[in-house]
């Protein structure tokens, strides 16, 4: 049986539910800033690491740590609230082609096949690439205009997630540092199918190639940016560009090379904090539903990453302590 490990990027300020399955390796993202370790799980701050880049690289600090410090036949990445579904059942999805679930409960872990390590290993070992389904850009809601291409989807966030010039910078750096991906970069961003969220399992050779493509360019982006006046969201520009490169890489290797590919549904759990009884679960399910309706109202007038939204988040956090919110954040 192949040695398969899926690294789960966990926030250091939230005690999330853990998956009792040896295939998953939970890792604290940005552990260099962690004063405690209440979940008693490894951090990304040992060995060769970039843990201190958590605010700009997000879950990529965990990916880098796995790349440099772990030996496996297959490497995967997912987040504390986004997992690939290994269930044979096909579930209803939203406009992002994601399955949305209010709370990560023990029942959900079983429903989406997260506890079946043997079954996961059996499926993964049949493929070279296991990834989430593409999302047709035309289905994804836009704030200002109809979206036809992946570039349109990302440019909709320009000024909120990153500067508009960042995509041109990405093209420039790919052309200079990884020209073999230049054509694929333009074809993917001009195409109509988006592959995002950095949730995957790759054979070792492909994972190494992905990391060799992403990290040198992300480091160079970090050097080139003047982040003066950036919001907290815009500080993540290297991570957003890394996510674009993930889509570019998968587009490139699936279009130009011969690999065995399996697409799975991506599940988003709105709330993954540890459950502390039935009343706690009921309260958080209610909060999650309320949160979704609130976002539907707020998103059109306060786009993610906007100054107004950042101010609202700050006010929200000031008057609503984390333990009383029942939701992780309002990103």
Mean pLDDT value of segment 259-287: 88
Mean pLDDT value of segment 224-245: 95
Q: Over the stretch 134-162, which tens digit does the pLDDT of each residue have?
A: 999 999 887 666 789 999 999 988 888 99
324 pLDDT exceeds 50? no
Least confident range from 131-140, 180-189, 280-289, 305-314: namely 305-314
Least confident range from 123-132, 232-241, 302-311: namely 302-311
Torsion, Cα 223 33 235 316, to 10 degrees, reads -170
Greater model confidence, 263 or 315: 263
Q: Over the stretch 78-89, which tens digit does the pLDDT of each residue have?
A: 999 999 999 999
The token pair at 105 is 């409960």
C-beta neighbour count of 107 within 10 angstroms: 9
Least confident range from 2-16, 116-130, 151-165, 246-260: namely 151-165
The token pair at 243 is 């996510």
Alpha-carbon torsion 241, 81, 50, 77, what sign?
negative
pLDDT (0 to 100) of residue 269: 96
Antiparallel, parallel or unpaired: β 261-264 and 129-132: parallel
Instruction: Please report, in angstroms and rounded to a whole number, the separation of the first and last CA atoms in the chain.
Output: 39
SS3 of residue 258 by DSSP:
coil
76 pLDDT exceeds 60? yes
Q: How confident is the model at residue 112 (pLDDT cuts 50, 70, 90)?
A: very high
328 pLDDT exceeds 70? no
200 pLDDT exceeds 60? yes
pLDDT (0 to 100) of residue 55: 96
Identify the DSSP state of 94. -
Closest residue by Cα to residue 58 from 7, 6, 9 = 9
What does the domain layout of the chain look like in residue ranges? Answer: 4-270
Mean pLDDT value of segment 180-198: 98
SS3 of residue 76 by DSSP:
strand
Q: Over the stretch 290-308, which tens digit does the pLDDT of each residue have?
A: 777 776 777 666 666 556 6
Closest residue by Cα to residue 53 from 217, 304, 236 = 236
Q: How confident is the model at residue 131 (pLDDT cuts 50, 70, 90)?
A: very high
322 pLDDT exceeds 60? no
pLDDT (0 to 100) of residue 330: 30
The token pair at 75 is 């490497």
Please, are residues 6 and 24 in contact by the beta-carbon 8 Å criterion?
yes
Residues of the chain with pLDDT > 70, as a percent, come to 89
Q: How far is CA 181 from CA 16, 47, 58, 147, 172, in A?
A: 37, 30, 23, 24, 12
Mean pLDDT value of segment 307-319: 66
pLDDT (0 to 100) of residue 331: 34
Mean pLDDT of the chain: 91
pLDDT (0 to 100) of residue 277: 78
Identify the DSSP state of 145. S
Cα–Cα distance for residue pair 233/306, rounded to 1 Å: 8
Burial class (CB in 10 A: 0-12, 13-18, 19+), 146: exposed
pLDDT (0 to 100) of residue 52: 98
Closest residue by Cα to residue 214 from 182, 239, 180 = 239
pLDDT (0 to 100) of residue 327: 31
pLDDT (0 to 100) of residue 279: 78
Greater model confidence, 313 or 71: 71
């Amino acid at each position: 049986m192949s040695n398969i490990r899926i690294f789960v990027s966990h926030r250091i300020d939230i005690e999330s539910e853990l998956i009792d399955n040896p295939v998953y390796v939970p890792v604290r993202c940005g552990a260099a800033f962690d004063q405690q370790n209440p979940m008693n799980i490894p951090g990304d701050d040992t060995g060769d690491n970039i843990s201190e880049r958590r605010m700009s690289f997000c879950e990529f600090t965990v990916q880098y740590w796995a790349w440099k410090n772990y030996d496996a036949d297959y490497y995967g990445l997912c987040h504390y609230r986004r997992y690939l579904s290994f269930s044979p059942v096909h579930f209803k999805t939203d406009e992002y082609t994601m399955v949305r679930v209010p709370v990560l409960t023990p029942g959900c872990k079983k429903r989406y096949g997260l506890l079946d390590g043997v079954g996961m290993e059996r499926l993964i070992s049949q493929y070279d690439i296991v990834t989430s389904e593409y999302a047709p850009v035309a289905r994804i809601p836009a704030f200002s205009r109809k979206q036809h291409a992946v570039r349109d989807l990302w440019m909709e966030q320009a000024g909120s997630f990153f500067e508009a010039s960042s995509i041109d910078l990405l093209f420039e750096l790919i052309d200079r540092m990884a020209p073999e991906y230049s054509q694929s970069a333009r074809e993917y961003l001009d195409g109509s199918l988006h592959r995002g969220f950095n949730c995957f399992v790759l054979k070792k050779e492909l994972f190494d190639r992905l990391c060799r493509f992403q990290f040198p360019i992300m480091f160079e982006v970090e050097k080139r940016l003047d982040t003066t006046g950036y919001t907290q969201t815009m500080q993540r520009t290297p991570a957003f560009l890394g996510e674009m490169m993930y889509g570019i890489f998968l587009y490139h290797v699936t279009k130009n090379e011969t690999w065995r590919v399996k697409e799975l549904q991506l599940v988003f759990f709105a709330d993954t904090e540890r459950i502390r009884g039935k009343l706690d679960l009921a309260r958080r399910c209610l909060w999650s539903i309320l949160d979704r309706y609130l976002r539907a109202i707020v998103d059109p007038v306060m786009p993610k990453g906007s100054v107004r939204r950042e101010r609202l988040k700050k006010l929200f956090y000031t008057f609503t302590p984390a333990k009383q919110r029942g939701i992780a954040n309002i990103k």
